[in-house]
Amino acid sequence: MIIKINQSLARGEVMAPPSKSYAHRLLIGAALAKGVSIIKNIELNQDIHATLNGLKALGASYQFEDNQIVIQGIKKTEQKDLIFIDAYESGSTLRFLIPICLLMGKKIHFKGSKTLMSRGLSVYEEIFHHQQIHYEKDVENLYLNGSLKPGEYIIDGRISSQFITGLLFCLPLLQGDSKIIIKNGLESKDYIKITIDVLKKCGIEVQMYRNKIDIKGRQTFTNIEEVVEADYSNAAFLDAFNLLDGFVKVKGLKTSSYQGDKRYKKYFKELEENMPTLDISNCVDLGPILMMIGCFKNGVVLTGTKRLAIKESNRAIAMKEELEKFGAKIDVDENKVIIEKAPLHKPLEILDGHNDHRIVMALAVLLSKFGGKISGYEAVNKSYPTFFSQLETLGVDIEYEFDKEA
């Protein structure tokens, strides 16, 4: 579907949406606990739906009302002989739930989009091979059968922190102690801090020392009542209007948050002042919005960009293609993006959202300055389904190709 954004100035106050990173983890922690937990300030985007459906397949149950979820912990009596989970396009759902499924002693079938399954599971593949866990994968399906064993896990930290998070939810429940050793550094390490924070709320203790995490076995998750904190990743798109002459106050963000994407505030200031060099290796989801602002302001050099290639799209290439329609000058290398200052203009063709929520949102902010259209705007449903309705409350002039209910 196509959306048209006319030149308009964003003004007003808006609450930052709930953190998807915290929501996934809190829901999983609640499902692993006995009894009832309550998770407040939940937005039911596509990725959270995928995790909830996965937890239901594992034997949890839940009710959603008034932006909160009441969740009953997993009961194995509610499981089928074959556990089937459709992760759709959610990398978090897939990578977090794989180790948890291997606690259940059942055959497992994951389904996912071709894009998701192409993003790679090499870290788990090595573990499964070593522990002789049956593993079979094609372009849209993953089949597993076996159980993880306590012990030492050596993980390549350059690929994704999501594998470590998945193990951290599983290993405390095994009958022996375990250790995760992270080799080749750890990118997106702040996501591990979020995971450990949630585990602590659930009564699980792990100890992290530089590249090593010690996990005691035979632990028990306790039920919780928690509020999902606001999301810095998506707040960055709202705050970006202020660099395009808007007047937007984003409310609700926790200053002491573990979220690595809170760096955006510091990076935005640098983008206003000069052509900075910004390392996004620990906040790679900021890549699209930083590229957009770099084009509009004074240019930018982004380093630590290689993982942009393994997201919902190849984000560096996708943003280059779309921003060049505005007249931008961009070079993309394997681990670096260079954007030179150049005069921008209204795009002469419809922009492609590349089925990527962060691409769509970054382009939408820029279109408020020049006007134009985006194809595939519904990709925002993955993380921020109320994005465009919130822009309208800020005065952004939006026209929809189809009815909003379509």
Q: Which two tokens stand for residue 171?
A: 């290993």
Helix, coil or strand: residue 111: strand
Q: How far apart are CA 283 and CA 161, in angstroms?
A: 12
pLDDT for position 401: 79
Question: Residue 405's pLDDT band (boundaries 50, 70, 90)?
Answer: very low
Residue 311, pLDDT above cutoff 80: no
Q: What distance in Å separates the CA atoms of residue 329 and residue 139, rounded to the nearest whole number?
A: 35
Task: Look at the alpha carbons of 26, 32, 33, 34 in this order and tell me if their dihedral is positive or negative.
Answer: positive
Residue 139 has pLDDT above 60, yes or no: yes
Asked whether residue 404 carries a pLDDT value surpassing 70, the answer given is no
Element (H, E) at 118: helix 114-118
Q: Where do we find the tokens 């009894």?
A: 35
Distances (CA, A) of 10 to 28, 51, 372: 37, 33, 16
> Residue with structure tokens 């009961």?
75
d(CA 293, CA 315): 15
Tokens of 217: 């076995």
pLDDT at residue number 403 = 44
Amino acid 120: pLDDT: 80
What is the predicted pLDDT for the residue at 312? 77
pLDDT tens digit sequence for 26-47: 999 999 999 999 999 999 999 9
Reported as a pLDDT band with limits 50, 70 and 90, residue 402 is: low
Q: What is the C-alpha separation between 294 and 209, in angstroms, rounded?
A: 36
| List of residues 6+ apart from 38 with CB closer than 8 A | 68, 69, 70, 71, 224, 225, 226
Condensed to tens digits (0 to 9), the pLDDT of residues 98-112 reads: 999 999 999 999 999
Q: Which of 285, 352, 356, 403 does the annotation list as catalytic?
A: 285
Token representation of residue 95: 């990578």
Question: Does the structure show a pLDDT above 60 at 95?
Answer: yes
Domains and CATH numbers, the chain: 2-17+231-400 (3.65.10.10), 20-216 (3.65.10.10)
pLDDT tens profile 273-292 = 999 999 999 999 999 999 99
- CA 356 to CA 376: how far, in whole Å? 9
Cα distances from 383 to residues 20, 69, 242, 291, in angstroms, run 7, 17, 22, 20
Which residue type does 237 have? Answer: F
CB 285 within 8 A of CB 261: yes
Is 331 designated active site? no
pLDDT 10s digits, 291-302: 999 999 999 999
The answer to whether residue 371 scores a pLDDT higher than 90 is yes
Q: How many CB atoms lie within 10 A of CB 277?
A: 12
pLDDT at 79: 82
The whole-number pLDDT of residue 111 equals 97
The predicted pLDDT at position 187 comes to 79
Span 198-237, pLDDT tens digits: 999 999 999 999 899 999 999 999 999 999 999 999 999 9
Contact 386, 67 (CB under 8 A): no
With b meaning 16 or more CB within 10 Å and e meaning fewer, what string describes 16-32?
A: bbbbbbbbbbbbbbbbb
pLDDT band at 76 (very low <50, low <70, confident <90, very high): confident
Share of the chain above pLDDT 70, in %: 99
Amino acid at 156: D
Q: What is the pLDDT of residue 186?
A: 86
- Rounded distance, CA 379 to CA 240, Å? 19
* C-beta of residue 180 within 8 angstroms of C-beta of residue 205: no
